[in-house]
Structure 1
Amino acid sequence: MRLRAADSDDKGGSVHRALTALWDLRKDVTVTQTLRSTVASTLAYLVAIWLSDEPAPLTAPLTALLVVQVTLYSTLTTSVRRVNAVVAGVLIAVAFSILVGLSWWSLALIILASLLAGRLVRVDEFVPEVAISAMLVLGVTHAADTAWDRIIETLIGAVVGLLFNVLFVPPVYVGAAGDSIEGLARQMRRLMRDVGDEMTTHTPVELAAARLSEARRLDHGIADVDAALRQAEDSLRLNPRVKEGLLHRVVLRTGLDTLEICAVVLRVLTRTITDLAKERRDEDLFEPQVGAALEELLGQVADALVSFAVLVTTQTSQAAEAAEDRLTGDLAAASATRERAANLLLEGVQQHPRQWQLHGAMLSEIDRLLDELDTDHRSQRLLEELDKSTREQRERHPQLTAFAAWLREVKRPELKRPELRRPKLRRRRGRDKS
């Protein structure tokens, strides 16, 4: 009986894990995009059969396949560019069919004109689509009818793809971007702790150079995080699920900028340690007491990096307060250890002033890390970036900004009602008369 119960528990647990894994697939960008593109293309084909006279209007599902993107913002921009590309190509083809017809030199001219027109109308990656549309229309007998059918099918595909993403809003990829930021911070912490472990032992030049190479490879991780963050930023734009998209974008972007600066400083720090290892090939890098203080200091700065990443990626206010308290504690402990390590280094340099400049460089680089992770520094930078983004948006879309301001005034009409101000003026005049 016990064996049967254990077997049933194992089966139940395996089924639960399978269902959990299947549910987690909805967060996978590839799976989500594949299903959405398939459904949208099929719907576009059905609508095109209903509205178009063509027996097989494949341009509509092809347009929907290209239009439906991972985010609503990219879907809207892609729809506009693709429709522009098709309309430009069709107009060029109709003009050439009326004037010169189809020959080898007219084909060359239409391809050249289509590619140039694609650059002028700014369709970006759909520049070849302008030439393709022009050639398809130019190669048929009834160019005008084919041109109109192609425009209709393209519009159907674009509208269906856009409406599909409006009705079934794509997911927000802030969580994936946050995970990538935390992953980068943990990678930097591992490297910094490895560097700290070498402060109390003899460090060969080859090992120090390997740490330097590992620090240089952080650039690849930063590029991956930047790609994930750009996808998250696009998913926040025009998304009805998000109320404070600008704030989310600025918080994540400034957080990545800070980690990128810290990665550069960490690379310089490993360069300094490599130079010090070259000068001290047959001895430890530091005295035992100094090395222990530096190891503790680097470990605390490494913990502060992860606490900073958690603070940046936390979306709830209660968890953000806890993350900020943890970061403040890590920075306070690191600052105290830094003072102790600096005093020990000063005493050592006074006795043996060898490579004193490298000791000073190490402290300067650690100070830069602590300054970048400081909460006050981050708050100031957030305010600056928010003001900058708001100002750029106001300058880029002045009419939209004015309309939003008008809506705010409409929602609060009491601020503009003159009868609410008259009593104050009357009282003031009465006091003047008295």
Structure 2
Amino acid sequence: MSGVSAPVLELVRRTTEPAAVQTLRSTAAAVIAFSVAQWTLPQPAPLTAPLTALLVVQVTLYATLTTGIRRVNSVIVGVLIAIGFSALVGLNWWSLGLTIFTALLVGRVVRVNEFVPEVAISAMLVLGVSQIADTAWDRILETLIGAGVGLLFNLLFAPPVWVETAGASIEGLATRMGTMLRAMGQEISGHIPVKEAAARLHEARRLDHDIVEVDASLRQAEESLMLNPRVRQGLLNRVVLRTGLDTLEICAVVLRVLTRTLTDLAKQRTDEPMFPDDVGEGLAELFDRMAEAIEAFARLITSPLASGGEQAEDRLAEALAQGRQTRDRIADLLLEDVQEHPRQWQLHGALLAEVDRVLDELDIDKRTERLGEELDRRSAELHERHPALRRLQRRLRGTGGTRRRPAEES
């Protein structure tokens, strides 16, 4: 690869990413809205139209349709308030304050929810640039033009799908959990200072923040799949990712409890190894197998359904099988150790129970069962919310239409 072509290829790769695509889409929608408003209205600089287009063209089509109306309402309400104040009073400090107060109050009354500040912003913009009511009415037309362009733009040019971004976040979370388990395995042989064990506990607690970030990325991906004409089996993809993240979140909680158990053991055995050498070596191997299982599970739920899923499932099955074998061997060793030294036997039992919980949560059969139950529940909710759609589907099936799976109905 030549030195000239490499930067070009990197630029092309970046422009195909969802964030770059969304930036280009928002820019194009704003420019089109400005051009349409400039062509149809007498205003020399109809900036309200591109402003509204930017607000309406959301990251996902679902967000555009669900929040676009509230955004347009917030802008129109603000413009109407500005019309009234521009007709009655001029622009000064007290009229500005009264306009903001009225806009925020009315915004809550008309229930634009999180877009209440945009009511006041729109009112201030119109009040600041116009003192003539006719001009303010033109701002309403600009708003409607911008909203129309934004909605049509998203319908004609579907927004990007953020599944890959959410998948990368999920795999990153699994990698951090796997790295932590391997580090614990390397440290568990021999004496572990209480300070070092407590540091692992704090590290496990920080996984909660990582899960919050991954959850936000997943919500964006779920919205990008909803009502998107480019996506087939959107419901199945959403359920696979959501149930997978739920499983990883449970594993993160259990991992935190596991580090708590090891910290308690470290406090009880400050002057001696935490475990005998054979048990320590076995636990190091077990933690490594658990790390492999968590990482394989993340790859399984983020792999495309048509390719890569079978290989990821095989790796997960192998990691779980080896993990269970190692767990059984360690259980026998710990039983012998407890019989000779019965101190803190309850912590040994807790350690094994926590390992069992992680392996059980990652089990392939349990994942399949959970996935089926969630698909049935989502499909039932969809039919309850849209009975007319269900009747239409029954009629189509009665006339020879092919039966569609619940995953294809979204």
**TM-score normalised by length of structure 1:** 0.85
Structure 1 residue corresponding to 2:351, chosen from 339, 362, 367: 362
Residues in 2 aligned to 1:276 and 1:244: alpha-carbon distance in whole angstroms: 48
Structure 2 residue corresponding to 1:150, chosen from 129, 139, 147: 139
1:404 and 2:393 equivalent? Answer: no
Partner of 2:176: 187
Partner of 1:414: 399
C-alpha change, 1:82 and 1:264, in structure 2 (3 Å) is: same
Structure 2 residue corresponding to 1:197, chosen from 183, 186, 196: 186
Residues 64-97 of structure 1, C-alpha deviations (whole Å, 9 max, x = no match): 1222222222223342122111222334445567
Matches within 5 A, 1:42-191: 42-94=31-83, 109-135=98-124, 140-143=130-133, 145-191=134-180
C-alpha change, 1:160 and 1:295, in structure 2 (3 Å) is: same
C-alpha change, 1:345 and 1:113, in structure 2 (3 Å) is: same
C-alpha change, 1:302 and 1:406, in structure 2 (3 Å) is: same
Residues 114-146 of structure 1, C-alpha deviations (whole Å, 9 max, x = no match): 212212333234212223444555675532x23
C-alpha change, 1:394 and 1:93, in structure 2 (3 Å) is: farther
- Matching residue's letter, 2:392: L
**Structure 1 residue 413 displacement after superposition:** 4.3
Which structure's CA Rg is the greater one?
Answer: 1
**Structure 1 residue 195 displacement after superposition:** 0.8
Identity of aligned residues (%): 60
Residues in 2 aligned to 1:321 and 1:65: alpha-carbon distance in whole angstroms: 42
Residues 263-317 of structure 1, C-alpha deviations (whole Å, 9 max, x = no match): 1111111111111112212221111111122111111111110111111111133
C-alpha change, 1:224 and 1:27, in structure 2 (3 Å) is: farther
Partner of 1:424: none
SS of alignment partner, residue 69 of structure 1? coil
**Structure 1 residue 15 displacement after superposition:** 3.6
SS of alignment partner, residue 412 of structure 1? helix
**Structure 1 residue 157 displacement after superposition:** 0.9
Partner of 1:341: 330
Partner of 1:422: none
Matches within 5 A, 1:256-275: 256-275=245-264
Partner of 1:432: none
Partner of 2:290: 301
Partner of 2:223: 234
Residues 361-406 of structure 1, C-alpha deviations (whole Å, 9 max, x = no match): 10111011011111122122222322332333344xx3xx233224
Partner of 1:328: 317
Stretches of structure 2 that go unaligned for 5 or more consecutive residues are: 402-410
**Structure 1 residue 196 displacement after superposition:** 1.2
Partner of 1:392: 381
1:350 and 2:339 equivalent? Answer: yes
Structure 2 residue corresponding to 1:372, chosen from 350, 361, 379: 361
**Structure 1 residue 197 displacement after superposition:** 1.6
CA RMSD of aligned residues (A): 2.4
C-alpha change, 1:414 and 1:74, in structure 2 (3 Å) is: closer
C-alpha change, 1:13 and 1:283, in structure 2 (3 Å) is: farther
Partner of 1:313: 302
Partner of 1:6: none
Q: Which shifted more, 29-38 or 244-253?
A: 29-38
- Matching residue's letter, 2:358: L
Count of residues paired in the alignment:
399
Q: Which shifted more, 84-93 or 182-191?
A: 84-93
**Structure 1 residue 14 displacement after superposition:** 3.0
- Matching residue's letter, 1:146: T
**Structure 1 residue 187 displacement after superposition:** 1.1
- Matching residue's letter, 1:405: R
Residues in 1 aligned to 2:350 and 2:75: alpha-carbon distance in whole angstroms: 59
Partner of 1:210: 199
Residues in 2 aligned to 1:13 and 1:162: alpha-carbon distance in whole angstroms: 43
Q: Is the 8 A contact 2:86 2:131 kept in 1?
A: no
Greater RCO (Cα-Cα under 8 Å, separation 6 or more) = 2
C-alpha change, 1:135 and 1:329, in structure 2 (3 Å) is: closer
- Matching residue's letter, 2:170: I
Partner of 1:419: none
- Matching residue's letter, 1:190: T
**TM-score normalised by length of structure 2:** 0.90
Partner of 1:4: none
C-alpha change, 1:388 and 1:316, in structure 2 (3 Å) is: closer
**Structure 1 residue 16 displacement after superposition:** 4.2
Residues in 2 aligned to 1:326 and 1:277: alpha-carbon distance in whole angstroms: 33
Residues in 1 aligned to 2:97 and 2:188: alpha-carbon distance in whole angstroms: 69
- Matching residue's letter, 1:142: I
C-alpha change, 1:30 and 1:172, in structure 2 (3 Å) is: closer
